[in-house]
């Protein structure tokens, strides 16, 4: 019988290499629903009925012997749904503090690489007639923009409680033997670069286009290298394996009002809110805001026709956070101008093109790149902002009240900020190293920063501004 496998992309392989004992490379979310929790077996049946829409969830990573090639995806021959979909309950009183503690513990645990890289936890015991779902998915499986699509395969736009249809029959395809995978990988390393050059000699083909994109990508990347290391900050220090998680919400209409009055995109306003919050929070810790910080803002390069496809299609831009600026309106202006310059520079496009070089690099270079990232600090904090649906979603007839996303912490990064717009508000998940004991104060500082900008917006007439993409994202949508 014919064997099957699929090679991980360069970026997805890098996400695996970045992971170690203290750096867990899974993304996740804490979703809160209204109503009584569904029976565990009903949830199992729903997941099983829709797994055909997300085939990667029944695949696992297979490493090439001696690391002579990027890892591959193979079908899991011993797939056990009950291992991945789990059931737990909160202790009394079952409020946000208990839910956040549980999420922090679950996000502290690395996923088992010998199995498909995801978990889903049904959480009972929430107060106010609510229940939760906590999800974990390895970053090598999925990116933020596509993640909205894949997560919602379990949800419906209407509150239907109909029993899902029986799942289609599924059988795992046989995987190649390690010796076969080694031979194929070595052959690919030799033939792929040669084939690319040969095809590039012919006009109007994809190989020539790729080489042009790679060449064009060096210029913006040289400018990025010229920025140097990010400023020193208490945010950047060695971290442990354990995490804290904090949840909060901001009203989307207020953010839109600020955008109309003070100009900029919704993403500019959100970055300004975060800058103001970090200024207040770090100042309360005794860290004077004497220099601006630098944020890593992932952006999706996935086109509309690529949605619901697999593999990460993301790049990143580096945005200054002027926490040294006391005036909130001036902070927003500086961020607006910086983001405009970043878009015009082609920084994200250049990074995406250069990532293609990894397809032709020996796998050992990927490992070296991961180690270099661990000791080199080009940014102080990661901020993701994903536009979600502006209408309610339902799980087995229960309405989704909120969904707080989680972005992983990189080496030397003690804080990650993830945002998801959903049904008229922005749901925010703050993930931090366990030693960051004042994380709730940062959530309060974000509310204060919003109120500060709202007060400034109330004092001036609305400005005429254009609208942006769904959820207020920029032309290149921020993503996990």
Backbone angles phi, psi at 210, to 5 degrees: -65, -40
**Which residues form the catalytic set?**
139
Q: What is the pLDDT of residues 417-440, one digit of tens each?
A: 999 999 999 999 999 999 999 999
Query: Of 41, 51, 110, whose CA–CA distance to 76 is shortest?
Result: 51
Cβ atoms 320, 224 nearer than 8 A: no
Q: What is the pLDDT of residues 264-304, one digit of tens each?
A: 999 999 999 999 999 999 999 998 888 899 998 876 544 44
Cβ atoms 282, 438 nearer than 8 A: no
Q: How many angstroms separate the CA atoms of 194 and 146, rounded?
A: 33
Kindly tell me if the per-residue pLDDT of 91 is higher than 70. yes
Q: What is the pLDDT of residues 118-176, one digit of tens each?
A: 999 999 999 999 999 999 999 888 744 344 345 668 999 999 877 788 888 999 999 99
Q: How many angstroms separate the CA atoms of 148 and 300, rounded?
A: 12
| 42 sits in which H/E element | helix 40-50
- pLDDT band at residue 306 under the 50/70/90 scheme: very low
Percent of the chain with pLDDT over 90: 60
Any residues with CB less than 8 A from the CB of 41 and at least 6 apart, and which? Answer: none
pLDDT at residue number 372: 56
């Amino acid at each position: 019988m014919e064997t099957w496998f699929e090679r991980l992309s360069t970026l997805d392989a890098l996400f695996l290499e970045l992971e170690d004992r203290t750096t867990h490379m899974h993304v996740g979310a804490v979703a809160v629903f209204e109503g009584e929790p569904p029976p565990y077996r009903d949830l199992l049946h729903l997941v099983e009925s829709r797994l055909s829409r997300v085939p990667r969830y029944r695949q696992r990573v297979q490493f090439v012997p001696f690391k002579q090639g990027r890892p591959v995806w193979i079908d899991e021959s011993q797939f056990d749904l009950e291992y991945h979909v789990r059931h737990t309950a909160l202790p009394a009183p079952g409020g946000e503090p208990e839910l956040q503690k549980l999420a922090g513990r679950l996000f502290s645990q690395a996923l088992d690489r010998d199995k498909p890289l995801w978990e889903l936890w049904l959480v009972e015991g929430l107060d106010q007639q609510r229940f939760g779902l906590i999800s974990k998915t390895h970053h090598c499986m999925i990116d933020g923009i596509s993640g909205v699509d894949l997560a919602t395969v379990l949800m419906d736009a209407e509150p239907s409680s109909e029993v899902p249809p029986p799942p289609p029959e599924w059988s795992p395809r046989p995987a190649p033997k390690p010796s076969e995978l080694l031979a194929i990988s070595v052959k690919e390393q030799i033939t792929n670069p040669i084939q690319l050059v040969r095809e590039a000699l012919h006009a109007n083909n994809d190989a020539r286009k790729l080489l042009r994109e790679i060449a064009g990508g060096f210029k913006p990347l040289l400018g990025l290298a010229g920025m140097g290391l990010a400023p020193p900050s208490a945010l950047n220090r060695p971290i442990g394996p354990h995490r804290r998680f904090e949840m909060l919400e901001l009203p989307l209409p207020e953010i839109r009002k600020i955008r109309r009055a003070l100009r900029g995109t919704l993403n500019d306003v959100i970055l300004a809110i975060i800058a103001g919050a970090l200024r207040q929070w770090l100042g309360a810790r005794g860290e004077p805001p004497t220099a601006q910080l630098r944020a890593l803002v992932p952006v999706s390069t996935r086109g509309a026709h690529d949605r619901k496809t697999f593999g990460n299609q993301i790049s990143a831009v580096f945005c200054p956070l002027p926490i040294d600026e006391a005036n909130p309106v001036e902070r927003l202006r500086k961020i607006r101008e910086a983001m405009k310059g970043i878009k015009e520079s082609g920084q994200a496009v250049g990074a995406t093109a250069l990532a293609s070089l990894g397809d032709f690099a020996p796998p050992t270079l990927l490992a070296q790149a991961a180690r270099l990232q661990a000791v080199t600090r080009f940014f102080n904090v990661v901020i993701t902002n994903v536009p979600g649906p502006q209408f309610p979603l339902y799980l087995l007839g229960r309405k989704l009240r909120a969904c707080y996303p989680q972005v992983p912490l990189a080496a030397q990064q003690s804080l990650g900020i993830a945002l998801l717009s959903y049904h008229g508000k922005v749901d925010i998940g703050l993930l931090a190293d366990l030693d960051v004991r004042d994380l709730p104060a940062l959530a309060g500082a974000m509310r204060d920063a919003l109120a500060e900008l709202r007060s400034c917006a109330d004092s001036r007439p609305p400005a005429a501004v254009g609208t942006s993409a769904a959820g207020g994202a920029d032309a290149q949508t921020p993503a996990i």
